[in-house]
Structure 1
Amino acid sequence: MSKKQRRAIPRFATPIVETHCHLDYLGEAGLGETLAAAADVGIERVVTIAVAPDNLATVRRIAEADARVWCTQGIHPHEAGSYDDAVEAAIREGAAHPRVVAIGEIGLDYYYDHTDRGAQRDAFARQLALAAELALPVVIHSRDADEDTEAILGEHLPGLSRRGVIHSFTSGAGLAGFALDAGFYLGFNGITTFRNADNVRAIVELTPVEQLLLETDAPYLTPVPYRGTTNAPCYLPFVAEKIAELKGLPVEELLAIARRSSYALFFPGDAPALAA
């Protein structure tokens, strides 16, 4: 990214937490530049997300290498066919790492159906049970699977002491209401800026601002005005601007609330210092 492009990204006074991206997909060789570009626009912490057995260790290594980065451990529904006792043991072991803040990305994807739906449901349920056992929050992916997501999540709610987030929320008002009532957060990204995403903007408007999280899902879903290029955490200010507009709030106020929520979910040990 050129210096000219960096100057075009708004910089706000309130630090921002990037709650969902895939740093390893952005290329580990250029990781320093990616994080420097993020820091230049006020991104103070980044959560990079695990999705498959072969990147559980990768995201931990990335988080170990930079004090601004944390990570998760989990298997995406696209990879649910690989879920077995050995993978579960690897997630459990990895989750003990001090840089791991959640179990995810887990859930259901009936849009692409890359994996048998029964296998997806089984992997989702087993990882929810693991999160309950480990007292960690969950990062959930749900696409075209509202009914089953709600049903499986509902079965496991009693054990999920720290709840979690349904990230990149594109589902209907029914699942949104269920998740919000249960104490979950909803994560929103560059989709909020897309011309044909009125359905997502409608969910942003009905979501209490205290239950919104900001994310990019980089390298995917680049917000306007850079849609069509590879996404990166440095573009998160554009998401913040759009959500503040939709909520009728000054951007700094929105950012302060989202920052508190991000810390409450992923970094509760640091929340008292944040409040002070």
Structure 2
Amino acid sequence: MLIDTHCHLALPDFDGDRHDVIMRSHKAGVLKMIAIAIKVKDFVPLITLCQDYPSSVFCSIGTHPCHAHEELEVLVDELVCLASHPRVVAIGETGLDRYHNAHTIEDQKTVFLRHIEAARITGIPLVIHSRSADEDMVALLQEQIKKGPFSFVIHCFSSSQKLADICLELGGYISFSGMITFPKYDDLRVVAQSIPMDRLLVETDSPYIVPVPCSGRRNEPSYVVNTAKVLAREKGISYEELMEKTTENAFRLFSKMSKCVF
């Protein structure tokens, strides 16, 4: 079994064939998926999706950094309250993005800090987005972990070995998307080789970042198989072992998944 730890199944991209997408995932051995929030205000569709597929789909609650300036009114208490829903297994995605929205970086930091505090209070892991913001991210994580522990994963990792090493030192997990299948990303594959097996996760970030050899299509959770096979090759292990380890890691980090009764 594989778990797609980061997909955006509630987006309109899947409105025409969402059920078929989930069934294809099951057929490919991807039996569980975490539908990641982009905006807190879109919480109801996420929960509805989870309830429609109670054995397969879980979700997060949070504000993507590119939308931070739109949800400055969302405070810690609201995040904590919404995170108490049994289908919510993570907080985020949250973080910093200087690539798309450098002009809102201060708003992003404000929102990110609220998400961190919510993760501390609830004990639910953070799903962190970090793009073109390594220095800011390192400084914030190192500063915040001193104020109280919280668990986290850097999703769709595409950064430096330095950021990976620091995240691991702080107890974080690293999740790889289809980027690791792209021919030009040799450096990223080198980073993947260095990640301990007990901190490794896989994801699609679908409908984005379509892995090779599925280029030109819309991404979907079943395609995480392609990412997992490349990771297995880079780690020098069998695909079956990679499946077992990443699934074990996902249940450990997103522990509410294993506690849900269907």
TM-score, with length taken from structure 2: 0.93
Deviation digits for residues 175-226 of structure 1 (CA, Å, limit 9, x no counterpart)? 1100011111100011011011112111101111221101000000111111
Which AA in structure 1 matches 2:45?
A: T
Kindly report the root-mean-square deviation, in angstroms, between the aligned alpha carbons of the 2 structures: 1.7
Q: Which residue of 1 aligns with 2:114?
A: 126
Helix, strand or coil at the partner of 2:208? coil
Q: Which runs of 5+ in 2 are unaligned?
A: none
What is the rounded CA distance, in whole Å, between the counterparts of 2:210 and 2:75 in structure 1? 31
Counterpart of 2:40 (choices 50, 53, 75) is 53
What is the rounded CA distance, in whole Å, between the counterparts of 1:121 and 1:129 in structure 2? 12
Which AA in structure 2 matches 1:94?
A: L
Deviation digits for residues 46-82 of structure 1 (CA, Å, limit 9, x no counterpart)? 1000011332222122112211100000101100102
Q: Which residue of 1 aligns with 2:209?
A: 221
Counterpart of 1:253 (choices 233, 241, 251) is 241
Which AA in structure 1 matches 2:227?
A: V
* Runs of 4+ that moved beyond 6 A: none
Helix, strand or coil at the partner of 1:46? strand
Helix, strand or coil at the partner of 1:23? coil
Which aligned pairs between 1:104-119 and structure 2 lie closer than 5 A?
Answer: 104-113=92-101, 115-119=103-107
The answer to whether the Cα contact below 8 Å between 2:182 and 2:211 also exists between their aligned partners in 1 is yes
What is the rounded CA distance, in whole Å, between the counterparts of 1:253 and 1:86 in structure 2? 41
What is the rounded CA distance, in whole Å, between the counterparts of 1:163 and 1:148 in structure 2? 18
What is the rounded CA distance, in whole Å, between the counterparts of 2:248 and 2:147 in structure 1? 24
The reply to whether residue 76 of structure 1 matches residue 64 of structure 2 is yes
The reply to whether residue 44 of structure 1 matches residue 31 of structure 2 is yes
Q: Which residue of 1 aligns with 2:124?
A: 136
The answer to whether the Cα contact below 8 Å between 2:157 and 2:175 also exists between their aligned partners in 1 is yes
What is the rounded CA distance, in whole Å, between the counterparts of 1:27 and 1:82 in structure 2? 24
Q: Which residue of 1 aligns with 2:175?
A: 187
What is the rounded CA distance, in whole Å, between the counterparts of 2:139 and 2:71 in structure 1? 20
Q: Which runs of 5+ in 1 are unaligned?
A: 1-14, 272-276
Counterpart of 1:263 (choices 241, 251, 255) is 251
What is the rounded CA distance, in whole Å, between the counterparts of 1:107 and 1:59 in structure 2? 20
What is the rounded CA distance, in whole Å, between the counterparts of 2:61 and 2:210 in structure 1? 24
Of all paired residues, the percent bearing the same amino acid is 33
TM-score, with length taken from structure 1: 0.88
* Cα offset, 1:89, TM superposition: 4.5
